[in-house]
Chain A
Amino acid sequence: GDSVTQMEGPVTLSEEAFLTINCTYTATGYPSLFWYVQYPGEGLQLLLKATKADDKGSNKGFEATYRKETTSFHLEKGSVQVSDSAVYFCALSDLGTGFQKLVFGTGTRLLVSP
C-alpha cells in the first residue's frame, strides 16, 4: 500500500538556520503531497501542498517540490524562527479514492532555539 517515510527527529536548530526535513513516498498512482504542521496544543494545520510532479508548494517561507523521479517532497526553509518549533507531518492522498484519505509519515519534531 501507499506509505510515507520522513526523517526522525527531533531536529534541533538555532534561529536563522537553514531547515531541511526529508520526506519520501511510495504510491501506486499519482498522489497529491502535503505538509501538515502541529503546534503544541493545537490541531494539525495544512502548511503547503503540491498536486503534480514538479509543482512547488510554498507558505510562510517554507517550500517543498514534488519530485516524481526521486519520489520525494522535502520541506525546506531558509531561516527558521523560534515560532516554527512544532511537529511536521508529510502526507499523501490518492485522488483515486475521491476524497482526502491521507497517509501520513510519523512526523518530525523541530526545536528552534534563540
Chain B
Amino acid sequence: DTGVSQDPRHKITKRGQNVTFRCDPISEHNRLYWYRQTLGQGPEFLTYFQNEAQLEKSRLLSDRFSAERPKGSFSTLEIQRTEQGDSAMYLCASSPGQINEKLFFGSGTQLSVL
C-alpha cells in the first residue's frame, strides 16, 4: 500500500495528557497537510508543510499544538495538555506539489479526550 499512512488509528487519552500522531505521506510528495474534522463537520485546515518547512498555520492551531516534518518525510502532530474540545479526527494529506493538484488523504487518527 503506497497511500498516506497515519498512526495510530484511534487514541483515547485523559484530559491534560500529551498525545502525538504520525503521518507518513506518499513518497516523493513534497507537500503535507494536517486537517481536523469534528463530528458532523467538514475537515478544517490546520497546517501545511513544503518539504521540511512549515509555511502556514491556522489560527485553530493553538500554542498547545505543534507539528514537525523533519527531513521532509514523515510528519508528527503533538497536542500538549489535551482538552475535551480536542476530540476529533485528525487527517493528514499529501500532494506532489502543483497548484490544483489532488490531495491524497490518510484514513485519519480519531482522538477521544476523556
Contact = CB atoms under 8 A, between A and B. Distances in A.
Contacts of B56: 97, 99, 101
Nearest to B101: A100
A46 B103 contact: yes
A42 interface: yes
Q: How large is the interface on A (under 10, 10 to 19, 20 to 34, 35 or more residues)?
A: 20 to 34
B91 A102 contact: no
Interface string A75-104: 000000000000001010101011111111
B50 A43 contact: no
A106 B103 CA distance: 18
A110 B23 CA distance: 29
Contacts, number: 62
Contact of A89 (B3, B4, B42, B45): B42
Contact of B103 (A42, A102, A105, A107): A102
Nearest to A49: B100
A25 to B, nearest CB: 12
Interface stretch (B12-20, B73-81, B105-113): B105-113
Contacts of B45: 101-103
Nearest to A32: B100
Contacts of A99: 31, 48, 50, 55-56, 99
A45 interface: yes
B100 A43 contact: no
A104 B48 contact: no
Contacts of A43: 3-4, 91, 104-108
A36 B24 CA distance: 21
Nearest to A104: B42
Interface of B: 3-4, 31, 33, 35, 40-45, 48, 50, 55-56, 91, 93, 95, 99-108
